[in-house]
Structure 1
Amino acid sequence: MSALVRVAVLGGHGKTGRAVCAALAARNVDALPLGRADWSDLAAAVAGCEAAYVIAPNLHPDEPAHVAEALAALSDGGVRRVVYHSVASPYAPAMPHHLGKAVSEDLLRRSGLDWTILQPGAYLQNLDLSGPLDVPYSPDAQFGFLDLADLGRAAAVVLTQPGHTGATYELATRVATVRELADEAGVEVRRVPDPKTHPWLSTMFDYYDDHGLPVGTQVLSALLGRSGGERSDG
């Protein structure tokens, strides 16, 4: 049983935050989800929390500034244990939003706090496998895919158990291509043009074409006490 009483989850109202909060609740830990409305006095909002999980908004234009502000408030609020939600392959110069996470990781490592960094692969839940699947990158690129529930479980483990301070963990539930996932679901997969909704996404799709986003599965298996290297039972 964890000795923690309360954990703040910054960005706790999004899908990632909800998964972390659910996994903490399953361990009888009180999770406090916080959003941007709480940032006017974040130090006060985290009062009484022993640890925090930090999730920046998706495609934040200046994630290092966001994370620096969060770390300062957490420190002022008396929180010493911080887990940062990064990304697999953060130092990828072709992807600016990954680089923002790489810089944020460095800020955390030099913060003086008790830190752990999680580097998740692409979420399985980002793919709608209920019908024909359209993707703006090669469906044959290899990925380390992560189930959201597994992300929550891994976060709860490193937040509530000793031995993870100073660690950086890449996380994936399974390794596959989008085509393999579509074939398993019995749906068609189609390569479609880049919708160009954000320049950072366009560079990400180009990167996926060339390199995919491979992530190993053994670390997650070890954290969750699973045998074998791949599993996808949610």
Structure 2
Amino acid sequence: MTTLIVGASGLMARPVIERLLEAGAGFRALSSNARSAERLRAAGCPDVVTGDLRDGDDMARVTQDVRTVLYVPPVFMADEADIARRFIATAAASGVEKFVFLSVLHPQMTGMHHHHQKLLIEEAVIESGMRFAILQPAMLMQNLRREWRQVVDHGILARPYRTDLSMAVVDADDVGEAAFIALTTGRLDGGVFELCGDALTTRDMAAILADELGRPVEARESAIEDWEKGARAGGFDDTGIEIGRKMLRHYQRHGLPGGTPLVLSAILGRAPNDYRTFVRHYAAEQAR
């Protein structure tokens, strides 16, 4: 019996995998294609399988002899909830005992398609009959990686929404630690947990970047069309682009408000990383 990581190639799964490898824990990583499967093998994953989440036979195969699942859903899919519901049913039928779901902060926000889809998935997880833990991470601090060159080369932090609205953020490494705890202990069984570090505006983030880099950094609102160009270059289809545009229109009106480090502090037994700590570590990594 082993642990299955679904969405193993993604940013949120990576720190979980690192902790599982450090602990010498057996696990299976599911990849959707051969290229990402090779990257996972190169990273040391002991059992890497490929499969299509929409293929019931594939999913029955990969969930055999699995005791615990970490499910990180694919991003910006129109049928995200339907895919997950079928997988959850397959996992339960295969004898999976515990299901850990990486959801999203504020899944009740119906104005964002991918948030509301995760609320429907949470319902299916709770009703599955399996033991469960649901983790709801805020926006990842690591999104900075997309903007890093512009910050360093031009002193601009540009995002396609207003710079004065609060955005709840969290370090992916802290999310990974919480997910590792959920997978390997019973401490979080039966719970739904918001995972937040800081709540900052883009202006706040730019000021922290300026302090840590020792140079001016300007917060700037970019055009949604600029985001769309980058998203298409990254492989998003028309459906994914529209879901993303809907998210950005919501951010433009509301930001991503709320978010307290209280819950994540209780899970980790320490304060989660704040944005300044993240930037300091990230800048040092990039310098190396």
Equivalent of residue 208 in structure 1, options 251, 260, 276: 251
Equivalent of residue 77 in structure 1, options 83, 87, 94: 94
* Aligned residue pairs, count: 229
Partner of 2:233: none
Query: Letter of the aligned partner of 2:206 in structure 1?
Result: A
Contact 1:44 1:77 in 2 (8 A): no
Equivalent of residue 97 in structure 1, options 109, 114, 121: 114
Equivalent of residue 123 in structure 1, options 114, 137, 140: 140
Contact 2:12 2:172 in 1 (8 A): yes
1:12-91 residue pairs with structure 2 within 5 A?
A: 12-36=8-32, 37-39=50-52, 40-91=57-108
Query: Which of the two has greater helix per residue?
Result: 2
Distance 1:41 1:203 in 2: 32
Distance 1:80 1:116 in 2: 12
Partner of 1:223: 267
* Pair 1:189 & 2:219 matched: yes
Partner of 1:113: 130
Stretch of structure 1 that moved more, 135-144 or 44-53: 44-53
Stretch of structure 1 that moved more, 44-53 or 87-96: 44-53
Unaligned runs of 5+ in 1: none
Distance 1:99 1:164 in 2: 23
Distance 2:77 2:12 in 1: 15
SS across alignment from 1:84: strand
Contact 2:92 2:128 in 1 (8 A): no
SS across alignment from 1:15: coil
Identity of aligned residues (%): 28
RMSD of the alignment, in Å? Answer: 1.9
SS across alignment from 1:7: strand
Task: Note the alpha carbon deviations across 1:7-45, whole angstroms, 9 max, x for none.
Answer: 111111122222221122233322321023324422222
Unaligned runs of 5+ in 2: 33-49, 211-216, 229-240, 279-288
Task: Note the alpha carbon deviations across 1:76-96, whole angstroms, 9 max, x for none.
Answer: 332110011111010112111
Distance 2:94 2:88 in 1: 10
Partner of 1:166: 190
Query: Letter of the aligned partner of 2:209 in structure 1?
Result: A
Partner of 1:11: 7
TM-score of the pair, normalised by structure 2: 0.74
Specify whether residues 205 and 12 from structure 1 end up closer, same or farther in structure 2 by C-alpha distance, changes over 3 A only: same
Offset of residue 133 of structure 1? 1.6
Bigger radius of gyration among the two? 2
Contact 1:175 1:230 in 2 (8 A): no
Partner of 1:178: 202
Distance 1:182 1:33 in 2: 36
Contact 1:115 1:165 in 2 (8 A): yes
Equivalent of residue 135 in structure 1, options 147, 159, 164: 159
Query: Letter of the aligned partner of 1:210 in structure 2?
Result: R
Q: Stretches of 4+ moved more than 3 A in 1? A: 229-234
Contact 1:9 1:52 in 2 (8 A): yes
Task: Note the alpha carbon deviations across 1:201-230, whole angstroms, 9 max, x for none.
Answer: 222222222222131111111111005x76
